[in-house]
Structure 1
Amino acid sequence: MSTLLILLRKEFKSFIYNPFGWVVVAAITLANGVGISTAMKGLIDTPSQYSLTFLTFHSPVFWFWFLFVFPLITMRLFAEEERSGTLETLLTAPVKTWHVVGSKYLAALIFFCIALLPTVVQFNLFGWVADFPDAWTPGEMLSTYLVFVLMGTAFTAIGCFASALTSSQIIAGLLTLAFLVLLYFFGYVPVIWGSAFRGVGVFDYISSQNHMNNFALGWLDTQPVVYYLSLAATVLFLTYHVVDYRRWKR
């Protein structure tokens, strides 16, 4: 466990001490600010029964930046070290493969969660400045960020897997984005095909849009929890074997 913590500290520092990491945080904050502003303008023009959190994360603006975050965070995890040759040194060191995979995955996931903190402040900022009541409830906010973390566990694992497949950061980023966009459009299959075919339940089960909408309304459901954690565990298992194959191939 101490080996894992040492590697985790090293990987996490690579996010904190790298200016690109803070560029990602700034981009998330800016994009979410645009989403909140758009949702607030919509509320001014047309009053709605839905909260500000629901309207913000229900819009295409949110999904545009959210799906791009994970390729940016994960594309360099294995690909950059493979390109520079430092991965070979790491894999020949007396550390276990799961230490390497686990440390990179956890560092990326922790950084993602930290990058979301400014967005929480943004939702509170208007109320603090204008002294208006919040247009959302604490339960809606808590459940929304819970599903953020759940999605992050799975999507970060997908990014790790893509990065382990190649030595090119660009290819790793494109692969991650392709996987995530595919998952995103799976959620639209019932909308396009209707609810008459037998597989509609499967697509509803894996629909990130449905999960976000439900959690943004304050509804808690155990099925998305099982889905995202299972998906993360499966993809990390594949990542482990990809990295382990590289290790013993050397």
Structure 2
Amino acid sequence: MRLFRILTFKELKGYFLSPFGWVILAFVTIMQGISLSTSMKGFRDTPVKDSLVFVTFHSPLFWFYFLFIFPLITMRLFAEEERSGTLETLLTAPVRSWEVVFSKYIAAMIFYTTLWIPCVIQFKMFDWVTGLPPAWTGGALGGVLTILMLMGAAFTAIGCLASALTSSQIIAGILTIGLLVIQYFLGYVTVIWGNSFAGASMFDYISSQQHLYYFAKGLFDSRPAIYYLSLTIFILFLTYQVVDFRRWRR
């Protein structure tokens, strides 16, 4: 575990002690602020029955920047080390493959979780600035944060796998965003074709849009949790196999 902690702290330094990590944090904070302010403007112009949390996280703008978070935070994990040659040194060191994979994944998840701290502060500022009762409930905000963590766990794992498959950060980023966009649009299959065909329930089960829809209303469901956690474990297992194959090939 000592080596695992050392590797994890090394990866965290790559996020928090480099300009790139702070640029990502600034990007997400600005985009979330724009999404929130746009939703507040909509509340001012037109009566809305849904909560501010629900409206903010159901805008096309949210999905645009949300899906781009993962290639940004994962494309360098393995690809950059492979390109620079440091991955070869790491894999020949007395560390186990699972420690390499899991340390990079945990560091990416810690950084990903940090990205949503400004979001919580922005919603809290609604009360502080306006002096009005909040236009959202704690259950809705808690539900959104829960599903964001679950989706983040799976999507970060996908980014780790993409980075492990190539030595190019650009290719890793394109592969990650491509897989996430496919997963996103699979959620629209039942919207386009309805629920009358065989297998429609499967598309509903994997629909990130529907998961966010229910959790943003404060409706917690164990099925998305099982889906995302199972997907995370499976993708990390594949990543481990890729890294371990590279290790023994050397």
TM-score, normalization by structure 2: 0.99
Identify the range of structure 1 (127-136 vs 149-158) with the bigger mean alpha-carbon deviation.
Answer: 127-136
**Which structure 2 segments of 5+ residues have no match?**
none
Say which SS state the counterpart of residue 115 (structure 2) adopts.
helix
Match of 2:226 in 1: 226
Match of 1:14 in 2: 14
* Residue 92 of structure 1: how far off its partner (Å): 0.2
Match of 1:122 in 2: 122
* Residue 117 of structure 1: how far off its partner (Å): 0.4
Give the superposed CA RMSD.
Answer: 0.7
Number of residue pairs the alignment of both structures matches:
250
2:171 counterpart of 1:179: no
* Residue 13 of structure 1: how far off its partner (Å): 1.0
* Residue 43 of structure 1: how far off its partner (Å): 1.3
Cα distance in 1, alignment partners of residues 3 and 206 from structure 2: 35
Identify the range of structure 1 (118-127 vs 20-29) with the bigger mean alpha-carbon deviation.
Answer: 118-127
Match of 1:69 in 2: 69
**Matched letter for residue 156 of structure 1:** T
* Residue 9 of structure 1: how far off its partner (Å): 0.9
**Matched letter for residue 59 of structure 2:** S
Identify the range of structure 1 (191-200 vs 158-167) with the bigger mean alpha-carbon deviation.
Answer: 191-200
Deviations 1:162-217 (A, max 9, x none): 00000000000000000100000000000111111011100000000000010000
Match of 2:160 in 1: 160
**Matched letter for residue 158 of structure 1:** I
Deviations 1:46-82 (A, max 9, x none): 2111100100001100000000000000000000000
Cα distance in 1, alignment partners of residues 197 and 38 from structure 2: 36
Say which SS state the counterpart of residue 24 (structure 1) adopts.
helix
Cα distance in 2, alignment partners of residues 31 and 214 from structure 1: 23
| Runs of 4+ displaced beyond 2 Å | none
2:83 counterpart of 1:93: no
Cα distance in 2, alignment partners of residues 122 and 100 from structure 1: 35
Say which SS state the counterpart of residue 58 (structure 1) adopts.
coil
**Matched letter for residue 61 of structure 1:** L
Match of 1:34 in 2: 34
Alignment of 1:20-59 (within 5 A): 20-59=20-59
Alignment of 1:136-215 (within 5 A): 136-215=136-215
2:240 counterpart of 1:240: yes
**Matched letter for residue 201 of structure 2:** G
* Residue 41 of structure 1: how far off its partner (Å): 1.3
**Matched letter for residue 207 of structure 1:** S
Cα distance in 2, alignment partners of residues 65 and 129 from structure 1: 26
**Matched letter for residue 167 of structure 1:** S
Cα distance in 1, alignment partners of residues 21 and 55 from structure 2: 28
* Residue 45 of structure 1: how far off its partner (Å): 1.6
Cα distance in 1, alignment partners of residues 197 and 44 from structure 2: 40
* Residue 133 of structure 1: how far off its partner (Å): 1.1
* Residue 37 of structure 1: how far off its partner (Å): 1.1
* Residue 126 of structure 1: how far off its partner (Å): 2.3
Say which SS state the counterpart of residue 73 (structure 2) adopts.
helix
Identify the range of structure 1 (181-190 vs 1-10) with the bigger mean alpha-carbon deviation.
Answer: 1-10
Cα distance in 1, alignment partners of residues 126 and 224 from structure 2: 31
Identify the range of structure 1 (117-126 vs 63-72) with the bigger mean alpha-carbon deviation.
Answer: 117-126
